[in-house]
Amino acid sequence: MKLDYDLVCLSHLRWDFVYQRPHHLVSRFARSTRVFFVEESLPLDSADEQPRLDLSKRDGGPIVVVPRVPDGVSVAESERIQAKLLSELFVTARIGAHVLWYYTPMALGITSELPPPLATVYDCMDELSAFQDAPPALLLRERQLFRRADLVFTGGQSLYEAKRDKHPSAHLFPSSVEVDHFNAARQPQSEPEDQAQIGYPRLGFFGVLDERFDAGLLAAVADLRPTWQFVLLGPVAKIEPASLPRRDNIHYLGPKAYRDLPRYLAGWDVALIPFARNAATRYISPTKTPEYLAAGCPVVSTSIRDVVEPYGRLGLARIADTPSHFVAAAEACLAEDRTELCARADAFLASSSWDATWSAMVALVDSAIEGGLDRSAAEKLRLVGTVRA
């Protein structure tokens, strides 16, 4: 499918960070049109450098755009500089017809000088205002974005319920999965070197280790079952690494490429979602839930609402919040028949794919563009009629 517009995506996440929802969707857009993935700004390397945009093309992906601004300038000045740089990019890259796709409302401060888009989309994947170190202006900017957006997409049921009354065209698009990618974990294969020497049973987690991660729960469970081995993949962000529990049976293997995750999952007996129950996790819908299931791993999670419903209700994940209950749930997973679990998981995941999600989103964007063009034509006719009268 060839799209008749460029996509300009404004993101709080960096392209080279953990592979998440924006990566799945933006990569699919990049197969059909030019995509400019605009990240949050970084400071210049030295005081005598001029503000600039660093552009780099990713194979099969977007053009990543990183604004570089002087260190120490005010937020207002930084936004003014970035707005000017983006306006210049529109000229030099010959960006004409385009769609603006926001992941963060804070990007409104750098898009004020851009030409009018064909459509504006707010893909709300998290309640960013509840995250640690959230900008004070975020809620105000979100209200402004709701007024400007033609479409609002949400990344989970609980988030949809929180946002649907704030915009007339809000749509639920929960976490999807690349089934074939994670199904590879069900096949016999060689172990990654850094996991090969770890004993069994193995209980694993992949994702960002931040304020959403329940480090206390992990420590307690590891102490209750010292012969179990806990494998954690992913970067540490917004918390001190020293705050994470250290035990002989807890193994931090660091960030891993998305392409390599199935090799690690192939060696796990149980997959974990040990998230804390706090403001930062109230509205999350972990993409890892269907990914774990596609890999054939039994799942134990704390009572994150979008895991409880539907995965807990359907028996696709066990829910536990206390260390003793978490251990009991993991023991039930270790005794479970994976063949039967995989059959039920496959039936559920058959209707969930990023390709289908992306196609449905594009259809809504096309409708919004057509509606905008119709409104524009009607407005021109009204003005002509007023002049003639």
Query: What's 354-373 look like in SS3?
Result: HHHHHHHHHHHHHHHHHHHH
Residue 1 pLDDT > 70, yes or no?
A: yes
Q: Are 205 and 57 in the same domain?
A: no
Q: Hey, which bits of 139-279 come out as E strands? A: 151-154, 170-172, 202-206, 229-233, 250-254, 270-273
Question: What confidence tier does 373 reach under pLDDT thresholds 50, 70, 90?
Answer: low
Q: Are 145 and 233 in the same domain?
A: no
Rounded to an integer, what distance in angstroms lies between the CA atom of residue 130 and that of residue 124?
13
Q: What is the mean pLDDT of residues 345-359?
A: 96
4-14 tens-digit pLDDT: 999 999 999 99
Tell me the whole-structure pTM to 2 decimals.
Answer: 0.92
pLDDT at 315: 97
Residue 82 belongs to what H/E stretch?
A: helix 75-92
Q: At a CB cut-off of 8 Å and minimum separation 6, what does 170 contact?
A: 152, 153, 154, 160, 163, 164
Helix (H, G, I), strand (E, B) or coil at 65: strand
Q: Are 294 and 360 in the same domain?
A: no
Residue 167 is assigned to a structural domain of this protein: yes
For CA atoms 189, 193, 196, 202, the dihedral sign is: negative
Q: Are 145 and 228 in the same domain?
A: no
Q: Are 132 and 243 in the same domain?
A: no
Whole domain around residue 335: which residue ranges? 179-349
Q: Are 360 and 332 in the same domain?
A: no
Instruction: Check which CATH number belongs to the domain holding 105 and give it.
Output: 3.40.50.2000
Residue 158 is assigned to a structural domain of this protein: yes
Number of domains in the chain: 2
Residue 1 is assigned to a structural domain of this protein: no
Share of the chain above pLDDT 90, in %: 89
Q: Are 216 and 242 in the same domain?
A: yes
pLDDT at 374: 63
Rounded to an integer, what distance in angstroms lies between the CA atom of residue 58 and that of residue 61?
5
Rounded to an integer, what distance in angstroms lies between the CA atom of residue 325 and that of residue 318?
10
Is 363 buried (19+), middle (13-18) or exposed (0-12) by CB count in 10 A? exposed
Question: What confidence tier does 389 reach under pLDDT thresholds 50, 70, 90?
Answer: very low
Q: Are 265 and 286 in the same domain?
A: yes
Angle at 386 between CA 380 and CA 389, to 5 degrees: 140
pLDDT at 372: 75
pLDDT at 378: 47
Which one, of 38, 6, 34, lies nearest residue 22 by Cα?
Answer: 38
Distances (CA, A) of 290 to 23, 190, 205, 269: 16, 23, 13, 16
C-beta separation of 245 from 209 below 8 A: no
- Residue-by-residue DSSP string for 100-166: EEES-GGGGGGSTTSPPPSEEEEEE-S-GGGSTT--TTHHHHHHHHHHH-SEEEESSHHHHHHHGGG
Q: What is the mean pLDDT of residues 81-93?
A: 98
